Amino acid sequence: MRAAEQSDEKFQKVFFQQDLQTLADEAAKTLQQLMQLIQELTNHSLVRTLKQERALCWSTRPRKAAESIRVLSGAEKVVYTSIEDSHTKAIWMKELKRKTGMSNQKELDRCIQKLEGLRLIKSVRNIKAPAQRTYMLYHLVPGDDVTGGSFFDAGDLDESLIDELSNLIIFHVKQQSWAEAKTTKRKRHTTHDIEDLGASHKPKHRSSRHDPETDVHTLQLPFQAYTRTYPTAETIHAFLTGSGSMRQSKADQLTVAEVQGVIDVLVWDEKLEKVGDGYRTVRGVKFRFPGTVMDDGEEDGGVGIGNGLTQAPCGRCPVFDLCTVGGPVNPGSCGYWKEWLER
């Protein structure tokens, strides 16, 4: 029991005969003594017998679960064993009914209710069939093929998490992709006619964001060959899980394979590119700094949200100047108005 609890697999760990012989040590020096020990543990529902690769093996159960199993009826034990065999994949109600051979749905529901009350099994939501009831052992954690992995929350795709991770990946990779150099370009001075210069002429308001005399550009220059190691899926995974930008439970669940999947999407979207064993950002890729909100112009191509007038079809109509009553383009036959009003 202690060996199973201390292992990474916990109660899913499987022990073969040689493993048990080593663990038993002085308690079972012969094969006959070992089999007697296994039988005693089986009678107390502490271990169950399995077969892998045509060889007998055994797995352990939690002590509290074993105590509850000993008081189950025959039908309840059959249902429990069928659910136990599904491990972390869980089992659907339809498959459970077929495997147990129980044709009476009420009897099967009664057994399930009893097992749930004893906290021997639990119902989980399977992303492949959210409407169907799926069951697994209470002390086990469902596998990624059931929950969908880190990118699913209660069976629903967590799109906001994927977007945030994508942005963080671009932010992290960009910092190690290019050598930035800033150049200052002098703006051309404009001249005014004498008539335009008078006492009433007021100087333009100086912007607090840009110097009107200069325009600063940031150039992204490639590093010299063989002088840079670009981020890999493993290093990006380490950054994401250690950045504190995710819930700890999600960070613990996130795998390198899942990070690689997001990277592949960013490559297909032409935001990242493969360089040797690592990745770098495509020149000019846009992202937002962590903790900030994307500017409207970046989200909608520079059009912006606007106000009530510009949100109406006329506010952004490319043929607005040609629109007249009775003309080829006129308000009466505009299909965009009807569509906008029905939103």
The 10s digit of each residue's pLDDT in 25-67 is 767 778 888 888 888 888 888 888 888 878 888 888 888 888 8
Domains by residue range for the chain, with CATH: 1-61 (1.10.10), 66-148 (1.10.10.10), 149-183+213-292 (1.10.10), 308-342 (no CATH)
Distance CA 55, CA 170 (A): 49
For residues 58-77, average pLDDT: 89
DSSP state of 292: S
Looking up tokens 């150099």 gives 181
**Inter-CA distances, 339 with 189, 297, 343, Å:** 48, 25, 7
Identify which of 64, 11, 63, 56 has the alpha carbon closest to the alpha carbon of residue 38.
Answer: 56
Q: What is the pLDDT of residues 215-270, one digit of tens each?
A: 444 555 556 555 567 889 999 999 988 888 778 878 888 889 889 999 999 999 88
Identify which of 123, 120, 23 has the alpha carbon closest to the alpha carbon of residue 77.
Answer: 120
Q: Phi-psi bin for 306: left (phi > 0), alpha (psi -120 to 50), beta? A: left
- Cβ 75 vs Cβ 62: under 8 Å: no
Return the number of other C-beta atoms located less than 10 Å from residue 310's C-beta. 12
